[in-house]
Amino acid sequence: MVNSSLEPSLCVHLNPAKTYLWAMSIHYQLSTYLSHQHFIAIELSFTLAEPQDVELVLPAWRPGRYELAEYAMNMKHVEVSHSDSEALGLNKSSRNVWYIENCPAGEVKVNYLYYANALNGGSCFTKEDVLYVNPVNCCLFVKGMESVEHILDLDIPSDFKVKGMLPFRKNRMKAKNADELFDSPFVAAREVLSIESEVSGVKTSIVFQGNIPTPPKDLEKTFKAFMRQQIRAFGGCPVDQYTYLILATPHRYYHGVEHDRGTVIALGPDLNLFRGSVYTDLLGVSSHEFYHTWNVKYMRPKEMWPYDFERENYHRIGYIIEGITTYQGDVKLWQSKVFSDRQFLDELTTHLNRHQTNMGRKHLSVRESSMDLWVDGYKQGMPDRKVSIYTEGALIALLMELMVIQATEGKSTLDDVMASLYLFCQEKGRGYAETDFLNILSIYIGEAACKRFFKDSIDRAGSLHNKVIKALKTVGVNVKMNTEDRWASAYGLKFSSDARPKVTHVHPSSEAYEQGVRLGMELLAVNNYLVESDLDVKDVKDEVKLHLKEGKILIEKKLKASEKLLYIQFELSREAGNNAYWEAWKG
């Protein structure tokens, strides 16, 4: 139960229609007594000085994920009681809003269970030995009281260690308002490893939870390198402490979410966390999320300042907040010598290949794709409908960087543009308009070039690869087009890596597309031979007979290989010799 010794102070909140007397703070208590069934028991309490109607709201989304969420589906047994021991009537007015009509003065308590069985960078998860919470998922807020202090207490086993974005003292966390509460995830568990250091005046915690191998000895040095590079690029850091909360999953996983004072990263498999591609992913997502400290947390679209947790926060500049961040996360690893030239070019290759594979580039611009994230989110929906603001935005950032370098003869880079935007937001407020960013970019590349680039590459659907190839040539990087596997290049088909492969891509110019091969179809046989995790070794000739399954229906298709390449892959390599623009880019 919430500590009954707390005597809430009262303050006046003015409303045009009525004056309300509210408590100076909101209290939550989270308990793990049902964690063995993945439930968090939550009690919310607040005090009213006079009778009034009360609205209780569960956030409709969370920052970092530009789609509506259904957090309310995880709630049950929602009950309201009063300090006079009377049960109060509770009604629902929408999917995530409850109200108490004519709630009496005194202390009000709201108790409910929240089902926490999703382990990713922005979720809640609990079982016997861990409690991981993103308050924005599970904490109701009292409409009209968002600006008061929010206090959260934990009822957890005595041997649990607690780590998060805000400090805990005796299992208590204090947030200055609802926004700070929602931006302060934490984990409480028996197994928590924390590496503490300081980077350019920023107290840094690298926290691991899960079954992890021994971290490499140079891990702290590696994180310090890319953090210093980013702090130097902006001329300082807006926070004095930063926490990497890394949740190691036993299965393959990759996800990160930014916060004011840190990030939550879910990554796996845990046993490979510090080797191979998983370690590369760890460094990449860590650098990406740290860059978000500036680019979205302390400067962001004016439509998102402040966040409105009750509805969509529409904007068209995902290419800035996510695209530039995706690109700069890799650039800063390269500039700090954490990534080699080869590793960095490989990351650019990945973006270029993903861009080329996604036919959505022909149908919806990156600006409109930013808007439409709120329509279908991050799910695999209609094929080739829109582009990724991360991939497309990263290539746009690359083009902007190389345009700045060329226009200023190597004296400036995209760092100067972003630092200027940061300074603008410090002076004018965190929110900025798209025109503010473009006006700053114009200073470096010229107004006419900026308008032309915006019209041709940002506001219009189309392919970017020829522009990227031409731009990379200026820094001494050659781009070669290669065939992909024969399925993709000759038949325009891509499959999942399952034992029973499913169709994941069908090229619109392929015979397979014309004949009605569709996404999600399961491939059973090729040329009368069953496919059993060995699709890559099947002899793919100039003609193939496929047996496919869609639902309960078996389908046979005979296809001829295309005479032109359908899906292609790119290969980037650096020219021999010195290139002044390459050196300016690399810093």
Write out pLDDT tens, residues 100-113.
999 999 999 999 99
User: Sorting pLDDT into bands at 50, 70 and 90, what band is 9?
Assistant: very low
What is the sign of the dihedral through the CA atoms of 575, 581, 586 and 587?
positive
Q: Could you tell me which of 478, 468, 472, 460 has the C-alpha nearest to residue 361?
A: 460
| Alpha helix (H) residue ranges in 39-87 | none
What are the domain boundaries of the chain?
10-189, 192-279, 301-475, 486-566
Per-residue pLDDT band for 6 (boundaries 50, 70, 90) equals very low
CATH of domain 486-566: 2.30.42.10
Per-residue model confidence (pLDDT) at position 23: 58
What is the fold of 10-189?
A: Immunoglobulin-like (2.60.40)
Task: Give the integer Cα–Cα distance in Å for 269 and 20.
Answer: 52
Q: What is the pLDDT of residue 538?
A: 62
CA 564 to chain centroid, in Å, comes to 37
| Predicted pLDDT at 19 | 42
pLDDT tops 90 at residue 366 = yes
Pairing status of strand 241-248 against strand 202-209: parallel
Per DSSP, the residues of 195-258 read EEEEETTEEEEEEEESS--PPPTTHHHHHHHHHHHHHHHHTS-S-SEEEEEEEE-SS-EEEEEE
| Tokens describing residue 569 | 């892959």
pLDDT at 529 over 70: yes
Mean pLDDT of the region 428-443: 96
Residue 574's closest CA among 332, 329, 346?
Answer: 346
**What is the arithmetic mean of pLDDT over 324-349?**
98
Fold of 192-279: Zincin-like (3.30.2010)
Residue 431's pLDDT band (cuts 50, 70, 90): very high
**Predicted local distance difference test score (pLDDT) of residue 11:** 44
Chain centre to alpha carbon of residue 93: 30
Q: Is it the case that residue 410 has pLDDT exceeding 50?
A: yes
**Using an 8 Å Cβ cutoff, are 528 and 579 in contact?**
no
Greater model confidence, 542 or 405: 405
Tokens matching residue 227: 């953090």
Other Cβ atoms within 10 Å of 491 Cβ, number: 24
Q: What's the mean per-residue pLDDT of the chain?
A: 94
Of the candidates 62, 33, 45, the residue with the CA atom closest to the CA atom of residue 107: 45
Tokens in use for 205? 């915690």
In this structure, are residues 492 and 507 in contact, taking their beta carbons and an 8 Å threshold? yes
The least confident of 130-134, 300-304, 362-366, 483-487 is 483-487
Q: Which long-range contacts (CB under 8 A, 24 or more apart) does 70-74 make?
A: 70/95, 71/96, 71/137, 71/138, 72/96, 74/114, 74/115, 74/116, 74/124, 74/137, 74/138
In total, the chain counts a number of residues equal to 587
Task: Supply the CATH classification number for the domain 301-475.
Answer: 1.10.390.10
* Residue 12 to residue 83: CA distance in whole angstroms: 21
What whole-number percentage of the chain has pLDDT above 70? 95
Which pLDDT score is estimated for 18?
40
What's the average model confidence in pLDDT over 159-179? 98
Residues with Cβ < 8 Å from 375, sequence gap 6 or more? Answer: none
Please, which residues have CB within 8 angstroms of residue 254's CB and are 6 or more apart in sequence?
Answer: 266, 267, 281, 285
Residues near 17 by beta carbon (within 8 Å), at least 6 away in sequence: none
pLDDT at 264: 98
Band (pLDDT 50/70/90 cuts) for residue 429 is confident
| pLDDT attached to residue 540 | 79
Tell me what pLDDT residue 379 has.
Answer: 81
pLDDT at site 472: 98
pLDDT at residue 16, rounded to an integer: 38
Tokens at residue 419, please? 């630092």
Residue 532 pLDDT class (50, 70, 90 cuts): confident
> Which residues are within 8 A (CB) of 394 and not within 5 positions of it... i.e. 6 or more apart?
323, 324, 326, 327, 330, 351
Give the type of residue at 577: G
Element (H or E) spanning 547, and its range?
strand 543-550
| Mean pLDDT score, 570-583 | 96
Question: pLDDT grade, residue 8 (50/70/90)?
Answer: very low
Over residues 422-431, the mean pLDDT reads: 93
| Nearest CA among 137, 89, 94, 133 for reference residue 110 | 89
**Mean pLDDT along residues 336-353:** 98
pLDDT tens, 10-69?
444 434 334 444 557 999 999 999 999 999 999 999 999 999 999 999 999 999 999 999
Q: Residue 275 — φ and ψ, nearest 5°? A: -150, 155
What pLDDT does 332 receive?
Answer: 98
- Give CB contacts under 8 A, 24+ apart, made by 80-84: 80/108, 80/109, 80/110, 80/111, 81/108, 81/109, 81/111, 82/106, 82/107, 82/108, 82/109, 83/107, 83/108
pLDDT of residue 451: 98
> What pLDDT, on a 0 to 100 scale, did the predictor assign at position 242?
98
Tell me if 10-189 shares its fold with 301-475: no
Q: Name the amino acid, one letter, at 533.
A: S
Q: What are phi and psi of 506, to 5 degrees?
A: -130, 115
- At 309 the three-state DSSP class reads coil
- Tokens 């080869």 -> residue: 342
In 3-state terms, what secondary structure has residue 156?
coil
8 Å CB contact between 393 and 319: yes
